[in-house]
Structure 1
Amino acid sequence: MSLKEKVAEFMTREFPQTNVVVEEVGNRSAKVRQPIGEEHLRPGGTVSGPVLMAVADVAMYAAILGEIGLVALAVTTNFTINFLRKPSATCDILGECRLMKVGKRLVVGEVLLYSEGDLEPVAHAVGTYSIPPVR
């Protein structure tokens, strides 16, 4: 089983509430996809902020799992997102994460979010995860 398949299976098992699709994992990075439907839109016909934040968080978590292994108790300790432009209400949201620092206790990464087919990002997020000590 590939690393991507292991991370995707882990996410499905441990976080059944998400339907973000893990597409790539490895080399301190991950790519994910959120299929967009009516349930993801807010008034005004745009993808809601909480959906974008969730996609960014899942992308970062997938990249981290690819580096440290399948650790369920790695948790977000800081998360900042900048909404840059209105995402398409008819296109999937793509998240591309790059980890900037992988330490023993903390991991810092950034995520760019795109509406599929658009080269300009709709949001940029930076986050920090706390890694539980090895026992």
Structure 2
Amino acid sequence: MAIGKQAGISPRDFDRIMAEKVPFVGDMGVITESLDAGVARLRLPFDQRFIRPGNVVCGPAIFALADIALYAVAWMVAPVADYAVTTEATVHFLSGAKPGDLIAEARILKAGKRLLIAQCDIRSAVDDALCAHVIGTYAMPPADKAG
């Protein structure tokens, strides 16, 4: 599979696809800042609902952002990644994320015919602290479902 910017998939296209096909993502307000050369950069705007005791962003919000960013890189190797699904993810929470926007940067480690392996770092936009590191595997859609 070629790694790079897919023809026809722009950050705005990905945001629209997510809002239409995965309404939960649209409800979170995730914004795709860039999709280029096997790297996706997304932003989760801060919402008070994401705060947990200790005044840090909760783990489910952090992991949701990482999973969405990993899904974005799947769209960079499949013309239509509707049927790509997460098969495995390992999350390392490294520091508490202060209240504020979160930035995800996901990149492809290996793209095969059946599996895509990628990593994602989540940083706080408040102080640039690395909050989480995620490695994920996606089962890629069969050729007859990919486009």
- Under a length normalisation based on structure 1, what TM-score does the superposition of the two structures give? 0.93
Aligned length: 134
The alpha carbon displacement at 1:2 in A equals 5.7
* 1:66 alignment partner in structure 2: 76
Work out whether residues 3 and 66 of structure 1, in 8 Å CA contact, stay in contact via their aligned partners in 2. no
Percent identity, aligned pairs only, is: 32
Q: Does 1:56 align with 2:66?
A: yes
Q: How does 1:1-135 map to 2 (within 5 A)?
A: 3-18=10-25, 19-89=29-99, 91-135=100-144
Tell me the secondary structure at the aligned position of residue 78 of structure 1: strand
Deviation string 1:90-109 (CA, Å, 9 cap, x unpaired) is x1010000110011000000
Q: Whole-Å Cα distance in 2 between the matches of residues 125 and 68 of structure 1?
A: 21
Work out whether residues 10 and 70 of structure 1, in 8 Å CA contact, stay in contact via their aligned partners in 2. no
Q: Whole-Å Cα distance in 2 between the matches of residues 65 and 2 of structure 1?
A: 8
Deviation string 1:49-99 (CA, Å, 9 cap, x unpaired) is 00000000001111111221232110000001101111111x101000011
- Runs of 5+ in structure 1 lacking a partner? none
RMSD: 1.3
- Under a length normalisation based on structure 2, what TM-score does the superposition of the two structures give? 0.86
- Runs of 5+ in structure 2 lacking a partner? 1-7
After the TM superposition, which segments of 4 or more aligned residues of structure 1 sit over 6 Å from their partners? none
